[in-house]
Amino acid sequence: MSGDRQEPPASPPRTAGHRIREVFSSLLVAVVVERLAQWVFDGFGSVVASLPGGWFTAVMVLALPASLVYHRRLAALRARAAGWLSPVTGAVRTALSALRRRLPRRRGRGRAGPLGRALRTVRLWVAGGYRATALGMAAGLVVWGGHEGVLWLSGAYGPCDSPRELQVVTAPENVHALRGAAAEFTAGTAVHGCLPYRISVGAAPSIDEMIYGFENGWRRKDARQEEEPFVRLLGIRPDAWLATSSGEAAYVTQRVNAARVAFGGGFSVARDPLVLAMLGERFDDMERALGPADEGGHRFRTLADTARSSLQMRLIHPQPGLSSAGLVAAAELARLSGSGDVARGTVFDESVSALLCRFRDPGTAERETAALLVPAHSVHDYNTRSLTAEGCPGGAPSGRDALKAFSSPDLSVLDYPFHTVSWAGQHRPEAQRVLTEFGRWIGRRGLFPATSPAWSAPRSPQVRDAAALHDVRRRIERELPRVDLHLVLDASGSMSRPPAALLLRTREAFSAVRNTLVPADRLSLSRFYASGDGVEVTEPGPRAGRDDLDGLTQGIAAREPGGRDAPISAMLAEIPRHVSRSGATVAVITDGGVFDDEPDGRAVVRALARAERVRHLYVLVLGDGRCGGGPAGGGRRAGGKRVVCAEAGQDLEKGLSQMVSTIREWS
Amino acid sequence: MTAGHDGPPRPRRSRIAWIGFCAGCLTVVALGVAPYPAPSGGAPPCATDHELTIATSSDVSSGSFRRDVVDEWNRRAGTTMKAKLVEISDSTDEERAEMAAAAQSQDCAYDILILDVAWTAEFARNGHLRPLSPGSGPGVPFLEKALTTTEVDGVRYAVPFATNAPLLFRREGLPAPGTPGELLRLAAEHGYAGQLADYEGGTVNLLEMVLSGGAEVLDGDEVVLDRPDDAREAGEALAAWQAALSRRTGADALSLKEESSLQAFRSRQAGYLRNWPFAFHRLASDPAMRDGDGLRFAVGPLPGTGVLGGSNLAVTSRSPDAAEAERLIAFLTTPQTQKKLFACGGYPPVVESVYDDYRVRPRTCGELLAEGDPEAGRPDPDGEITAGQLRLFADAVRLAVRRAWPRPPAVHYSTFSEVFRSCARQVVDGALDAGELDFPRFSGALREALDGRRPEHDPCRRPTGR
């Protein structure tokens, strides 16, 4: 080194152009590295995975040429590593020397001791063995490639094995997107066109049903009679669960015994904000009322206050007891802390999809006055596809029927954690591995279609945690008006006889009602039928609340005397003797045969006006029955009392939930 | 690489190199020959829980009468092992997935499976079913068509439980079509409700359209839809249905399933309804479809060729109680049980003698139930399906089953179904002109599908060249 070392020339002053170039080249490098990493994980990864031996073979074979090409750098690296490790190797050498000094000396010993020679020999064997094995694997790949090529050219691949069945559940509004992702993921794993896995996606039940299901082998909570020879599952038994929010996931997993089900993963695979959606015209009205927005959009409180006070709109969401997104939405309304906010927002729909499907029906009365608090991707689904996958009839809405949505920087962003599920007694490590891979893959690919830039803008996560969700559930239970309901079953033969067996089906659908009740609600049950020239109304059983509903539910399909259809008006004349409290609403559950003798409903209205202690009347017609000319769906008045007839069709759960929800609104 | 004198002798190093080379080569080749991880075998045998568990779909829509016959088994004298139904889901896809997942994980959950006839081959060939012992069953003749679905590669794995074949319902006053051509004409005139949504029911309806048009899809195990005559007839049939449906029922016809098509018929949106036999009980017990003791509709077999449906009873290969399970299966297929399932639940019987009995001495659900339990048999004079109506229904079902075409007993039938539907439905939908449907390409994709391979590219159209 010379002593008169010259100073390096001063670097030229950095201009703005230089800096832009630097930033640009840094960005370019970052993008290239990111793309390369993505390709290694996805494209190259899938090629490697299809090789015999997968990554092991790839690493073995690729390391050989890499070591030959880069042997100089590797040698330098080795020397550097030797330097770093010199304290350790020095200590080992010292220890070995000490050991050698204690051992008896042997004649003919060379410079290196026997241990050193043995190590050197082993090293050479390993090195030579590795090179030969790697070469052999490369040769094997050539043979295998040739074999595959011949098969491909001749089209002589044999039939595929049956794919391994894997099952995932998620909230109904996510099923369509997750099915698409599952199809794409499994297609990517195909070998010679054969799918090694088939991922079925089913709709997850409500939070409470899910907790019960995980605790009980995925069985539905049915209030069955003893000795009844059946159980019902909640659909496919999941190997994985895509929750809506980490709060929901924690709420469930904290309440499930780990000895029955073990949850793995829990990483977020998507992010989607709640938005406030409404019809386009109302959206324009609201924009005018709101004025210019702050950066990132209006605060949720501003949106809610404007919608309510300026546009007289109601902010609604699915039932928090049945829908996780509904529960998070309720938590958002609870945050506004106005008394009654939460209760006012709850509608009877059991899921976001059901709410949107109902909203799409032009006959829905509250379309103009409702703003929906739902995930952004559901609004996109509503506008872009017909929701037929969710069982919604008709085509995609267009024009004025389309929804527009406001996002807000302080509305929750749902984070969709992906959990694997291991059931006690089942050992499916491959399922867990593949599904974890699937979850990670969704995380990289995305689950939902791109929404508007405002929705996808980064924001601080505000997912409500399990404690917040628990609190909001309790708050809803306190705030919801109490239901005092006397159910009167049509006990005619057509209700209990196959093929409809409507009483049996009503009993089974009643599990959905449980999730819509709050602790203060009270229900009682009796039956009515024609007997001789009059009407027989049975003595009601004890009044039941949500937590002791099983007895009442079992009574619905109990083998009790029945007869022919009796007119509702005649029943109403008898019922006050059985209703112990004044102010109860009477709900008649029938297949519609009760209207045969009073088709126009006027007698029913007159009888209701006269019936003491009966506050309102709700007639629920099940199955293929019709209200006919009976009390109209829109409702009538009978001296200040309400009368409504609703047709449930084949969806008894929905019909019963809607009944409870309507009666709650009357309370 | 240096060959220092301290290293191992050259012959030995050369031997090691050769061993390494051969081991590497053979390992890769061996792994390449066996591409799939073998299913985890060697699970310990299942221990009996002294109960027979039957996996099935939800039974709500048919009055849950299967529960009643299982209950009857549990209560009858001589039953040593009670039975329990596990109702999985309303969705047949979920039902199949759950059964297959349980079988693949060597679960001990189920002893008996109630399998759709289209899945029996898949479950049998994958080793999930136990061959039935010779002479199992009630010892009575089954419908021949139903019996063919229970044998796979010459071995009987199942016993028919309920059969299914398409029926044509028509509103009173409308003429009965005698041929597929007449049905097309009347469908265009009065409206037609089938099941053409994107699911297995859609495949069945589309297959019926093609087969009734005179084309053959399969000859044995071979796809023959690309034979010129078959391709022409299939294209014409699909195009004719596209024209007929677009004239009257519009786009909604393509979104109907069993329940929604039944509702379309009830609400007079369609004068003709193609549906499975379950619809008869639903319609016949509906006050809106009755006129006193008479019916406001008529029923008969679907003109042309229908597709055979139904379900089979099979014992799982891991059931520790196989002998008892076979006894339960025999009970479920006795003529007495089959009559009750037919009259009360609407399940078409699989036993020949039940049809014969219904010709001579038809009996209602109430009468049958009253035989065993006088309390249970309380026929409602206002709405029970009469014996005469059940006789007509039984005749229609029997004829429909005789005419029906069984779906291919393939392990990968579901893949075949998806590929077939993906193209045929586009033609009926109007999204693809029948002339543009590339039958050689379509048939090639169907052949691949029967082997379990999904097409990587559009299986319906010729690739567009530059």
- For A181-199, how does the pLDDT look when each residue is reduced to its tens digit (9 = 90+)? 999 999 999 888 899 999 9
8 A C-beta contact, residue A315 and residue A308:
yes
| B226 or A460: which leads in pLDDT | B226
Of B346, B381, B416, the domain-final residue? B381
Residue B419 sits in the same domain as residue B328: no
Supply the pLDDT for residue B82. 96
CA distance A204 to chain B (A): 12
Give the 3-state secondary structure of residue B328: helix
What is the spatial distance between Cα B278 and Cα B265, in angstroms, rounded to a whole number?
14
Supply the pLDDT for residue B132. 92
Q: Are A160 and B29 within 8 A, CB to CB?
A: no
Residue B79 sits in the same domain as residue B101: yes
Q: Are B24 and A562 within 8 A, CB to CB?
A: no
Supply the pLDDT for residue B379. 46
| A240 or A319: which leads in pLDDT | A240
B342 in any annotated domain: yes
Partner B contacted by A62 (CB < 8 A): no
Supply the pLDDT for residue A12. 60
- C-alpha angle A409/A413/A415, rounded to 5°? 155
B266 in any annotated domain: yes
B268: buried, middle or exposed (CB in 10 Å: 19+, 13-18, 0-12)?
exposed
B377 in any annotated domain: yes
**Residues sharing a CB contact under 8 Å with residue A526, sequence separation 6 or more, in sequence order:** A486, A487, A488, A489, A537, A538, A539, A540, A541, A575, A578
Ranking A484-498, A510-524, A618-632, B271-285 by mean pLDDT, the lowest is A618-632
B194 in any annotated domain: yes
Q: Are B22 and A136 within 8 A, CB to CB?
A: yes
Which residues on B lie below 8 Å from A565 (Cβ)? 382
Q: Are A236 and B84 within 8 A, CB to CB?
A: no
Q: Are A52 and B32 within 8 A, CB to CB?
A: yes
B44 in any annotated domain: yes
Q: Closest chain B residue to A565 measured between Cα atoms?
A: B382
pLDDT band at residue B1 using 50, 70 and 90 as cut-offs: very low
Amino acid sitting at position B305: T
Mean pLDDT of chain B: 88
Say whether pLDDT at A234 is over 70.
Answer: yes
Say whether pLDDT at A452 is over 50.
Answer: no
How far is residue B358 from each of residues A562, B290, B346, B348, measured CA to CA in Å?
Answer: 29, 22, 14, 12
B396 in any annotated domain: no
Q: Are B22 and A158 within 8 A, CB to CB?
A: no
Partner A contacted by B373 (CB < 8 A): no
Residue B315 sits in the same domain as residue B279: no
Supply the pLDDT for residue B194. 95
Mean pLDDT of chain A: 83
What is the spatial distance between Cα B69 and Cα B340, in angstroms, rounded to a whole number?
8
Supply the pLDDT for residue B121. 94
Residue B284 sits in the same domain as residue B193: yes
Instruction: Measure CB to CB from residue A128 to each of B17, B89, B452 and give the nearest one.
Output: B17
CA distance A233 to chain B (A): 5
Supply the pLDDT for residue B391. 95
List B residues 153-182 in contact with A (Cβ-Cβ < 8 A).
Answer: none
| B366 or B276: which leads in pLDDT | B276
Q: Are B380 and A239 within 8 A, CB to CB?
A: no
How far is residue B328 from each of residues A142, B70, B310, B335, measured CA to CA in Å?
Answer: 56, 9, 19, 14
CA distance A621 to chain B (A): 13
Residue B189 sits in the same domain as residue B71: no
pLDDT tens-place string over residues B73-90: 999 988 999 999 999 998
Q: Closest chain B residue to A60 measured between Cα atoms?
A: B24
Residue B160 sits in the same domain as residue B171: no
B6 in any annotated domain: no
Residue B141 sits in the same domain as residue B60: yes
Supply the pLDDT for residue A453. 43
Supply the pLDDT for residue A636. 65
List A residues 136-175 in contact with B (Cβ-Cβ < 8 A).
Answer: 136-141, 143-144, 147-148, 157-167
What is the spatial distance between Cα B400 and Cα B208, in angstroms, rounded to a whole number?
12
Partner A contacted by B336 (CB < 8 A): no
Q: Are A127 and B266 within 8 A, CB to CB?
A: no
Residue B300 sits in the same domain as residue B322: no
Say whether pLDDT at A10 is over 90.
Answer: no
- What is the CB-side half-sphere exposure of residue B53 using CA atoms within 13 A? 21
Top-ranked range on mean pLDDT: pick from A61-65, A146-150, A413-417: A413-417
> pTM for the whole thing?
0.81
| A368 or B424: which leads in pLDDT | B424
Supply the pLDDT for residue A341. 61
What CATH number does residue B322 fall under? 3.40.190.10
Ranking A128-132, A501-505, A612-616, B7-11 by mean pLDDT, the lowest is B7-11
Ranking A68-77, B161-170, B365-374 by mean pLDDT, the lowest is A68-77
Supply the pLDDT for residue B38. 44
Say whether pLDDT at B297 is over 90.
Answer: yes
pLDDT band at residue A29 using 50, 70 and 90 as cut-offs: confident
Amino acid sitting at position A617: L
List A residues 496-555 in contact with B (Cβ-Cβ < 8 A).
Answer: 497-501, 504-505, 508
Q: What ipTM was assigned to the predicted interfaces of this complex?
A: 0.85
Q: Are A148 and B32 within 8 A, CB to CB?
A: yes
pLDDT tens-place string over residues A553-571: 888 877 776 778 888 888 9
pLDDT band at residue A3 using 50, 70 and 90 as cut-offs: very low
**Portion of chain A with pLDDT greater than 90, in percent:** 29
Ranking A86-95, A614-623, B203-212 by mean pLDDT, the lowest is A86-95
Q: How many domains does chain B have?
A: 2
**Portion of chain B with pLDDT greater than 70, in percent:** 90
pLDDT tens-place string over residues B221-273: 899 999 999 999 999 999 999 999 987 654 478 888 888 899 899 888 899 99
| B139 or A317: which leads in pLDDT | A317
Say whether pLDDT at A1 is over 50.
Answer: no
The pair of structure tokens assigned to A79 is: 């020397």
Of B381, B400, B425, the domain-final residue? B381
List A residues 458-477 in contact with B (Cβ-Cβ < 8 A).
Answer: none
Tell me whether strands B192-193 and B309-315 are parallel, antiparallel or unpaired: unpaired
Longest dimension (CA), chain A: 127
Q: Which of these, A102, A170, A609, A168, lies nearest to A390 by C-alpha position?
A: A170
Q: Cβ–Cβ contacts within 10 Å for residue A65, how many?
A: 11
Residue B175 sits in the same domain as residue B270: yes
Mean pLDDT, residues A9-26 taken together: 72
Ranking A427-431, A577-581, B163-167 by mean pLDDT, the lowest is A577-581
Say whether pLDDT at A73 is over 80.
Answer: no
List B residues 30-89 in contact with A (Cβ-Cβ < 8 A).
Answer: 30-32, 35-37, 39-40, 58-65, 67, 70-71, 74, 82-89
Partner A contacted by B122 (CB < 8 A): yes
8 A C-beta contact, residue A597 and residue A565:
yes
Q: Which residue range(s) make up the domain with B273?
A: 166-307+408-450
The pair of structure tokens assigned to A107 is: 């004649």
Residue B242 sits in the same domain as residue B347: no
Q: Which of these, B319, B412, B89, B310, lies nearest to A167 by C-alpha position?
A: B89
pLDDT band at residue A33 using 50, 70 and 90 as cut-offs: confident
Q: Are B122 and A162 within 8 A, CB to CB?
A: yes
pLDDT band at residue A507 using 50, 70 and 90 as cut-offs: confident
Partner B contacted by A71 (CB < 8 A): no
Q: What are phi and psi of A453, to 5 degrees?
A: -55, -35
What is the spatial distance between Cα B62 and Cα B162, in angstroms, rounded to a whole number?
13
Say whether pLDDT at B4 is over 50.
Answer: no
Which residues on A lie below 8 Å from B102 (Cβ)? 237
Of B363, B381, B399, the domain-final residue? B381
Residue B107 sits in the same domain as residue B219: no
Testing the interface with A: which of B6, B15, B25 to mutate, by most A Cβ within 10 A? B25
Which residues on B lie below 8 Å from A147 (Cβ)? 32
pLDDT band at residue A27 using 50, 70 and 90 as cut-offs: confident
B459 in any annotated domain: no
The pair of structure tokens assigned to B449 is: 């599908």
Residues in chain A: 667
Partner A contacted by B448 (CB < 8 A): yes
Residue B315 sits in the same domain as residue B302: no
pLDDT band at residue A343 using 50, 70 and 90 as cut-offs: low
pLDDT tens-place string over residues B342-367: 998 889 999 999 999 999 999 998 88
Partner A contacted by B100 (CB < 8 A): yes
pLDDT tens-place string over residues B106-161: 889 999 999 999 999 999 999 999 999 877 655 778 999 999 999 999 999 999 99
Say whether pLDDT at B374 is over 70.
Answer: no
Say whether pLDDT at B212 is over 50.
Answer: yes
pLDDT band at residue A457 using 50, 70 and 90 as cut-offs: very low
pLDDT tens-place string over residues A621-653: 988 788 876 565 556 666 778 888 998 888 888
| A543 or A104: which leads in pLDDT | A543
